[in-house]
């Protein structure tokens, strides 16, 4: 286990640190997510206890996650299953989010932002309990530092070269489309042929 920089054990300041920068992501940028339900059914109520990396410690809001490529979204979702998409996920949804305006994001891939926070790249991929605790506290902090922030941007564990992860806090900046997985034979075929996925139903048959 790598040593942890001091920032993981220090409280995050109430006032945004000097030099901490957010950046702009262009209007029209597409993000992808695999989800059990379509966006019209998503709840934005926070969890009482944080479950995922950038869920807020406070539980005051919901964080949802997406990737800049559909491959990244599926690899993040199905890596724990060995890249197997179970048969009972045929009715789950592939969601495409398109930015309706420029997005305001805080990028955790830059050396400057990491240095100011006193953390390292483990903030994006690490599993140490202190790292996760910092991630949860950081979600609350960035929403306090910037009340109009759309998302955190961070490096994925499963597709570090080809995709980028987003932790976003609402659909306000996006238009959303979704399809049942069983209806996207093109996507499923790409995953099977090029990404070594296993789909547990006959592609081409709506199961």
The pLDDT of residue 67 is 98
Strand residues in 62-164 grouped as ranges (E):
64-67, 84-85, 93-99, 103-107, 151-154
- What angle separates helix 70-78 from helix 185-195, to the nearest 10 degrees? 70
- C-alpha distances (whole Å) from 138 to each of 5, 11, 78 are 15, 10, 26
Beta carbons of 93 and 36 less than 8 angstroms apart:
yes
Read off the pLDDT of residues 19-59 as tens digits, 9 standing for 90 and up.
999 999 999 999 999 999 999 999 999 999 999 999 999 99
The pLDDT of residue 1 is 55
- What is the pTM for the complete model shown? 0.96
The pLDDT of residue 87 is 97
Closest CA to 175 of 105, 104, 103, 76: 103
**Residue partners of 127: CB distance under 8 A and separation at least 6:** none
Q: Give the dihedral of Cα atoms 195, 201, 202, 205; nearest 10 deg.
A: -120
For 85, list phi and psi in degrees, rounded to 5: -95, 110
The pLDDT of residue 204 is 82
Report the run of H or E that residue 129 belongs to, with start and end: helix 129-145
3-state DSSP helix/strand/coil percent for the chain, to nearest 5? 30, 20, 50
Sequence ranges of the domains in the chain: 6-84+91-181
The pLDDT of residue 206 is 57
- C-alpha distances (whole Å) from 110 to each of 20, 23, 114, 116 are 10, 11, 6, 10
The pLDDT of residue 121 is 96
The list of the chain residues with pLDDT below 70 reads 1-2, 206-207
Q: Give the dihedral of Cα atoms 51, 54, 56, 59; nearest 10 deg.
A: -40
Q: Tell me the Cα Rg of the chain.
A: 18
The burial of 181, by beta-carbon neighbours within 10 Å (0-12 exposed, 13-18 middle, 19 or more buried), is given as: buried
The pLDDT of residue 129 is 96
Separation between Cα atoms, residue 168 and residue 101, nearest integer Å = 14
Separation between Cα atoms, residue 124 and residue 132, nearest integer Å = 10
């Amino acid at each position: 286990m790598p040593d942890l920089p001091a920032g993981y054990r220090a409280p995050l300041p109430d006032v945004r640190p000097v030099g901490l920068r957010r950046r702009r992501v262009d209007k029209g940028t597409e993000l992808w997510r695999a989800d059990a339900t379509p966006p019209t059914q998503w709840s934005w109520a926070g969890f009482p206890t944080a479950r995922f990396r950038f869920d807020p410690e406070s539980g005051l809001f919901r964080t949802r996650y997406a990737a800049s490529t559909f491959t990244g979204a599926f690899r993040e979702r199905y890596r724990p299953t060995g890249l197997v998409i179970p048969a009972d996920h045929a009715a789950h949804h592939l969601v495409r989010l398109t930015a309706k305006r420029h997005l305001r994001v805080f990028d955790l891939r830059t050396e400057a932002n990491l240095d100011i926070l006193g953390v390292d790249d483990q903030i994006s991929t690490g599993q140490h309990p202190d790292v996760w605790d910092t991630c949860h506290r950081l979600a609350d902090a960035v929403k306090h530092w910037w009340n109009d922030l759309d998302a955190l941007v961070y490096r994925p564990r499963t597709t570090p070269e080809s995709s980028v992860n987003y932790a976003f806090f609402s659909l306000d900046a996006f238009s959303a489309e979704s399809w049942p997985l069983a209806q996207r034979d093109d996507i499923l075929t790409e995953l099977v042929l090029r990404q070594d996925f296993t789909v547990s139903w006959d592609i081409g048959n709506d199961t």
